Amino acid sequence: MDKYTIVIPTLWKSNRINKLLFDLIKCEYVDEIILIDNGGKFFEYFEALDKVKLVQTSENIYVNPAWNLGIKLAKNNCIALLNDDINFDPNIFGVITEDVLFQFGIIGMGEGNYKEPIDEDRGPYIDVWRPGINDWGWGCFIMLYKKHWIDIPENIKIWYGDNFIKDINPTPKGIFSIS
């Protein structure tokens, strides 16, 4: 069974992060959760949680450098970059296997996943991402095969990291949709 490393940079500590962490901890497909604390505000009990590796920075390194750091620290080939303010069924990691990630390279979430119920007839599917399309939400949940990662340049701190991944990284990309 393929195992995922989850990378979650956080600064403001969304009120959804507790549910997100506990759902990920219970998921059999998640082996490691790298929580990058950009605000220095986490209590030690997060570090004591099963599967959680807390990385506290001395200052805010921002989201894109945190993604780069998390991928360097990850022990698994299957990686998911997550915002701290989303909740979802983590069993999706059982559907997107290492073979699927290797084939598609990098997969972001489609906008409808955050709004629509699952289309029971069609089920989850992956479409090839088309350049020039900005599917809102793509960067909130990105799955990738570790070897396909190219570091985001250090001068891109907050904005456009997901655009760099989609537009500059030559690896094929997909959009995962449930509706």
Please write the tens of the pLDDT for every residue from 16-54.
888 999 999 999 999 999 999 887 766 566 666 889 999
Half-sphere exposure of 70 (CA within 13 A, CB side): 33
State the amino acid at position 144 in one-letter form. Answer: L
Whether this prediction's pTM lies above 0.85 is answered by yes
pLDDT at 45: 64
pLDDT at 109: 84
Question: Would you place residue 149 in the very low, low, confident or very high pLDDT band (cuts 50, 70, 90)?
Answer: very high
Worst-scoring range by mean pLDDT, 35-39, 62-66, 157-161? Answer: 157-161
Identify the CA nearest to 82 among candidates 91, 98, 70, 94: 70
* Token pair in block for residue 23: 């759902």
More confident residue, 62 or 134: 62
Beta strands 106-109 and 173-177: pairing type?
parallel
DSSP-assigned beta bridge partners for residue 23: none
Does position 85 have pLDDT exceeding 80, yes or no? Answer: yes
Identify the CA nearest to 108 among candidates 92, 120, 121: 92
Mean pLDDT of the 89-118 span:
81
**34 Cβ contact partners less than 8 Å away, ≥ 6 residues apart:** 5, 6, 7, 8, 53, 55, 70, 73, 74
pLDDT at 104: 86
* Token pair in block for residue 38: 């950009």
Mean pLDDT of the 2-25 span:
91
pLDDT at 36: 93
